Amino acid sequence: MSFYDVPDGVEIRGRYDHQFAQILTRDALQFVAGLQREFRGQVRFAMECRREAKKRYNSGGSPGFDPATRFIRESNWKCATVPPAVADRSVEITGPVERKMIINALNSGSKVFMADFEDALSPSWENLMKGHVNLRDAINQTITFHDQARNRVYKLNNTIAKLFVRPRGWHLPEAHIIIDGEPAIGCLVDFGLYFYHNHSMYRSAHGAGFGPFFYLPKMENSREARIWNNIFEQAERTAGIERGSIRATVLIETLPAVFQMDEILYELRDHSVGLNCGRWDYIFSYIKTFQAHPDRLLPDRVQVGMTQHFMRCYSDLLIRTCHRRGVHAMGGMAAQIPIRDNPAANEAALELVRKDKLREVRAGHDGTWAAHPGLIKPILEVFTSNMAGKANQIQTAAREDADAITEEDLVQMPHGTRSLEGLRLNTRVGIQYLAAWLTGTGSVPLYNLMEDAATAEISRVQNWQWIKYGAVLNGNGVKIRVTPELFAKVVEEEMERIKREVGLEKFTRGRYQEAGKIFAKQCTTPELDDFLTLDAYNLIVVHHPKTSARL
Ligand SMILES: CC(=O)SCCNC(=O)CCNC(=O)[C@H](O)C(C)(C)COP(=O)(O)OP(=O)(O)OC[C@H]1O[C@@H](n2cnc3c(N)ncnc32)[C@H](O)[C@@H]1OP(=O)(O)O
Ligand SMILES: O=CC(=O)O
Ligand SMILES: [Mg+2]
């Protein structure tokens, strides 16, 4: 049996693999451990602040602008100039750090590829470590993949997208790496291993002196951005590279963060390349933030789109904030994906994507996300034909009108109706997503839409909210109140439907029964769990030599 060569205080409980050992080198682990030792206190404090804020919202409070940081919002300052290598981000494809998908994404014609350790990845040891091997090979441009079944070899084109990497959120531990007796902080492992192995090659071969580039998820407050800024500075000092080489785009995807956008950019002003509208987590966060407010029961998930007032204001204010500070205002993900077997449905889905992207570019966004290579061309067409030949709209779409957006606008309740079909769909999607996640797949096509951890979270918390407060479903003329008994019946019936749809063999082989139980528990628990994936993470941790692994 082989073992990883670890520095003092570090223990690896994940499976040994000689390829993983090239990533988990003693020096790389020393770098990660250094980050953990330096920043664990700050991260712990930031998580405690999240809990304090939650108590305030649960006692009737609502997030709002912080009077103490008014001077940051009102004074004139700019972020560092955008690196030329990433001036044009008109379309960015996203996807998990899976080998074939990385090659496809980099070759897709997209300007950027966001390689995801987060919403689109189930963070098993195998997925994470293979992801690092894949990214290293991608940056060295040696990555290939042989699809044995189709006898097809994948390799990189001459022109490829610029790579951004999204580490996990602050809340997730990495249970396979123990540092000083406690699980490593997941995002420090993702960031640390990737940065350590790739910063030099990235800056010389891809970033024209800048990089690596990152996307930073699920922050709630600028103090969390300050930690990232400190981490970047420590990484730059350790690597002996210029301050400001690393650049990151922060996802504004929690309700509290929309009131902190200037402050977040300010903390990261030497390391920023903008903000992004992470619309799916944002909707999830809206429900979560107001979990103790029974007067805020949302309509069906399908009705909570970007044209709802609170979503439109969020996107407009993000554009205004970014352009005032000189950085990109990125749009979000339309959930539609190509429908291969139905041309009419495919065209209708494409039309929805085009409409969403047209709204974004006209509002002033500088670029947007695509979930699938088949969407790059149509999205690029919409953006390029509406940006007057420019790489972005930072200088041309000031959106001063968005200064009038108020706190009330940003929390306004979405309009619409609730239906039994909405409850059923949430349940069907939530269970199938969780079953996939437990078996190692973090993004899946379901009913012709992309589903990932963020979209599944909406299904979970919406069900929880409706059950907790006995929401009246009023969408189909007949009024029905949601009760735990009704939900139990829905779960039973939807499990049967899933079994029919996926077939008995896949159903029996998969983890659907287990997913059904977890999802049902999470929707009916008296206190809402903060994250679906945090609870479920225990079920994908596999310690070696094999032991029962609970955090
Ligand atoms: C809320 C958020 O955070 S959004 C960002 C996080 N979510 C994501 O990144 C989701 C990204 N998208 C995906 O994972 C996928 O598109 C899915 C799961 C939704 C659908 O995937 P599939 O069922 O494989 O799609 P499909 O069968 O049409 O794929 C056709 C080809 O495109 C490739 N492909 C599909 N999506 C992607 C992608 N995002 N990146 C690279 N390649 C892709 C497939 O690998 C396949 O390649 P092949 O023909 O060489 O075998
Ligand atoms: O990460 C993106 C989102 O929409 O959530
Ligand atoms: Mg997200």
Q: Give the pLDDT confidence score for residue 1 in this predicted structure.
A: 60
Decide: 429 and 451 in contact? Cβ < 8 Å: yes
Q: Which atom of ligand 2 is nearest to the CA of 276?
A: 2
Nearest to 228 by CA among 259, 263, 260, 271: 271
So what's the pLDDT on residue 527? Answer: 97
Instruction: Give residue 486 CA to ligand 2 midpoint distance, Å.
Output: 30
453 Cβ inside 6 Å of ligand 2: no
Instruction: Write out pLDDT tens, residues 14-50.
Output: 999 999 999 999 999 999 999 999 999 999 999 999 9
The answer, yes or no, to whether the previous bond of 212 is cis (omega within 30 of 0) is yes
SS3 333: strand
Ligand 2 centroid–CA 280 distance in Å is 5
289 neighbors 57 (Cβ within 8 angstroms): yes
CA of 452, closest atom in ligand 2: 5
Q: Considering 89, 166, 203, 399, which one is annotated as catalytic?
A: 166
- The answer for residues whose C-beta is within 8 angstroms of residue 125's C-beta and 6 or more apart is 14, 15, 176, 541, 542
CA distance 277 to 283: 11
List per-residue pLDDT tens for the chain, 551 residues long: 679 999 999 999 999 999 999 999 999 999 999 999 999 999 999 999 999 999 999 999 999 999 999 999 999 999 999 999 999 999 999 999 999 999 999 999 999 999 999 999 999 999 999 999 999 999 999 999 999 999 999 999 999 999 999 999 999 999 999 999 999 999 999 999 999 999 999 999 999 999 999 999 999 999 999 999 999 999 999 999 999 999 999 999 999 999 999 999 999 999 999 999 999 999 999 999 999 999 999 999 999 999 999 999 999 999 999 999 999 999 999 999 999 999 999 999 999 999 999 999 999 999 999 999 999 999 999 999 999 999 999 999 999 999 999 999 999 999 999 999 999 999 999 999 999 999 999 999 999 999 999 999 999 999 999 999 999 998 777 899 999 999 999 999 999 999 999 999 999 999 999 999 999 999 999 999 999 999 899 999 999 987 545 55
d(CA 350, CA 356): 10
Q: Ion ligand 3 — residues with CB under 5 Å?
A: 119, 253, 278, 281, 454
Contacts of residue 424, Cβ cutoff 8 Å, sequence gap at least 6? 490, 493, 494
Q: Are 370 and 92 in contact (CB under 8 A)?
A: yes
Which is nearest to 180 in space by CA: 373, 406, 397, 9?
9
d(CA 389, CA 383): 10
Please name the residue whose Cα sits nearest to atom 2 of ligand 2: 278
Counted residue by residue, the chain has a size of 551
CB burial of residue 228 (10 Å; 0-12, 13-18, 19+): buried
Nearest-atom index, ligand 1, CA of 93: 39
Ligand 2: which residue has its CA nearest to atom 1? 278
Please indicate whether residue 364, judged by its CB atom, sits closer than 6 Å to ligand 2: no
Cis peptide before 96 (omega within 30 of 0): no
Distance (angstroms) between ligand 1 centre and the Cα of 302 equals 21
Cα–Cα dist 333/457, whole Å: 15
Instruction: Say if residue 496 is exposed, middle or buried (CB neighbours under 10 Å; 0-12, 13-18, 19+).
Output: exposed
Instruction: Look up the pTM and report it.
Output: 0.98
* Residue owning tokens 């998969």: 510
For the chain, what is the total number of helices (H) and then of strands (E)? Answer: 20, 17
- Here the tokens at position 52 are 């304090």
For residue 78, what is the DSSP state?
-
119 C-beta closer than 6 A to ligand 2 = yes
How much is the ipTM here? 0.99
Cα angle vertex 153, ends 150, 156, to 5°?
A: 140
Which of 279, 443, 457 for a ligand 2 pocket mutation test, highest count of atoms within 8 Å of Cβ?
279
Residue 27 is a catalytic residue: no
Q: Give the pLDDT score at 276.
A: 98
**Residue 15 annotated in active site:** no
- In DSSP terms, 252 is beta-bridged to 277
Rounded CA separation 83/208 (Å): 8
SS3 of 161-226: the string is CEEEEECCCCCCEEEEEEECCEEEEHHHHHHHHHHHHHHHHHHHHCCCCCCCEEEECCCCCHHHHH
| Tens-digit pLDDT profile for residues 241-287 | 999 999 999 999 999 999 999 999 999 999 999 999 999 999 999 99
Strand order in the sheet with 173-179: 10-12, 173-179, 182-185
Burial class (CB in 10 A: 0-12, 13-18, 19+), 480: middle
Helix (H) or strand (E) holding 134: helix 125-139
What residue's CA is closest to ligand 1, atom 28?
A: 338
Supply the pLDDT for residue 2.
79
With a 6 Å cutoff on the Cβ, whether 456 touches ligand 2 is no
- Which residue lies with its CA nearest to atom 12 of ligand 1? 371
Cα(98) to centroid(ligand 1), Å: 10
Sign of CA dihedral 138, 141, 142, 148: positive
**Nearest atom within ligand 2 for CA of residue 282:** 5
